Amino acid sequence: MTMHRATNIAVSAVSAAPLRGTIAIDCSGTVATFEIDEELAHRLCSDLERFLTQVPRQTSTTR
C-alpha cells in the first residue's frame, strides 16, 4: 500500500436533513473526495479524538 502525505483537507455540507457532506483530501495535487453521513462523521470524530489524545509510544534507539 502506498502512503501519500495529505496537504489539504476540506469538509463541506451537502444537505442538512439528513445530514450529509463531503470530505476532499488533497494528496500531492490529486484530490480524493468522499461522501459521508452523520454516523460516519461521528465515528471519524471519535477516531481523530483518540488519535490526538494518545500517549506517544516510546521508541527504542540503537546504541
For the chain, state the CA radius of gyration. 16
Give the pLDDT confidence score for residue 59 in this predicted structure. 64
d(CA 57, CA 55) in angstroms, rounded, equals: 6
Main-chain phi, psi angles of 7, to 5 degrees? -105, -15
Tell me the pTM: 0.71
Condensed to tens digits (0 to 9), the pLDDT of residues 2-56 reads 888 999 999 999 999 999 999 999 998 899 999 999 999 999 999 999 989 997 7
Domain boundaries, the chain: 6-53
Spell out the residues 6+ positions from residue 14 whose beta carbon is closer than 8 angstroms to its own: 20, 21, 22, 35
